[in-house]
């Protein structure tokens, strides 16, 4: 007598496992919302728990330390608001076009994520070291992509690096677009011109006009010849 081999039972997540994932998601979303509205420095575990509808122990069970919570928040938020990719800009050979492309993408992203960036940058010293270094490291990568291939040296390169750093700064965008009410295109044009000017060699000091005594001496010297 033969028997049919037992068919494997289809895998189904248990209700408990699904519930745990949903709880973790609620906690993450609650933390993201608080980071965006009041900022990381003013976000407490108590407030996260209250917003997520759980107790503090549940928050700690899912996220035993602050870095674990921030990792989840970062993944959740940037999956919906991805950072522009500096790697794509390096392929643009024309440096001015590369800068304009980068600023267009960055400024659009700043407009999309303004509230989160404003509170996050304000409270950056309260962010766990790993998340803070990753965030600041992104802008270092942006800066390096825009400096790539530039051959300026000395003080000219220093000015150029400073101008690019200023152009990509969130606060520069906020000042020009929100406070001074420039259009994004106008802000990009202004910052591109600033970087171009910074890359020009600085002219030497103007020649001082000769004094009457110097002119007299020069004239006397010429007659003596």
Q: Residue 201 has what pLDDT?
A: 81
The stretch 21-34 carries a mean pLDDT of 96
Please tell me the distance from the alpha carbon of residue 120 to that of residue 129, in angstroms, as a whole number: 13
The stretch 174-186 carries a mean pLDDT of 98
Residue 188 has pLDDT above 90, yes or no: yes
Same domain for 56 and 140? no
- Mean per-residue pLDDT over the chain, rounded: 89
Same domain for 30 and 112? no
Residue 186 has pLDDT above 70, yes or no: yes
53 is a domain residue: yes
Residue 148 has pLDDT above 50, yes or no: yes
Which CATH number do you get for residue 32?
1.10.357.10
pTM of the full structure: 0.81
Query: Structurally, how many domains does the chain consist of?
Result: 2
- pLDDT tens digit sequence for 93-138: 999 999 999 999 999 999 999 999 999 999 999 999 999 999 999 9
Residue 1 has pLDDT above 70, yes or no: no
Instruction: Provide the residue range defining the domain that includes 182.
Output: 86-198
Same domain for 47 and 118? no
211 is a domain residue: no
Residue 31 has pLDDT above 70, yes or no: yes
- pLDDT tens digit sequence for 152-167: 899 999 999 999 999 9
Residue 19 has pLDDT above 90, yes or no: no
Same domain for 54 and 97? no
Residue 217 has pLDDT above 50, yes or no: yes
C-beta of residue 120 within 8 angstroms of C-beta of residue 39? yes
Q: Between residues 218 and 199, which one has the greater pLDDT?
A: 199
- The last residue of one of the domains, among 56, 80, 104, is 80
Residue 198 has pLDDT above 70, yes or no: yes
Same domain for 104 and 194? yes
Q: What percent of the chain has pLDDT over 90?
A: 77
């Amino acid at each position: 007598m033969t028997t049919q081999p037992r068919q494997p039972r289809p895998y189904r997540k248990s209700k408990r496992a699904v519930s745990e994932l949903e709880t973790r998601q609620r906690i993450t979303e609650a933390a993201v919302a608080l980071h965006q509205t009041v900022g990381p420095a003013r976000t407490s575990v108590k407030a996260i728990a209250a917003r997520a509808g759980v107790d503090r122990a549940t928050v700690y069970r899912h996220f035993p330390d602050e870095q674990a919570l921030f990792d989840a928040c970062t993944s959740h938020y940037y999956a919906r608001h991805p950072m522009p990719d500096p790697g794509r800009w390096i392929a643009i050979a024309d440096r001015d076009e590369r800068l304009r492309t980068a600023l267009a993408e960055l400024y659009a992203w700043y407009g999309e994520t303004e509230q989160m960036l404003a509170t996050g940058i304000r409270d950056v010293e309260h962010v766990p070291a790993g998340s803070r270094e990753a965030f600041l490291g992104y802008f270092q990568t942006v800066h390096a992509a825009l400096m790539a291939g530039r051959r300026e040296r000395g003080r000219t390169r220093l000015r150029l690096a400073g101008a690019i750093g200023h152009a990509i700064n969130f606060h520069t965008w906020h000042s020009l677009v929100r406070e001074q009410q420039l259009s994004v295109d106008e802000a990009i044009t202004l910052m591109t011109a600033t970087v171009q000017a910074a890359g020009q060699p600085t002219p030497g000091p103007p020649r001082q006009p000769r004094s009457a005594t110097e002119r007299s001496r020069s004239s006397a010297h010429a007659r003596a010849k």
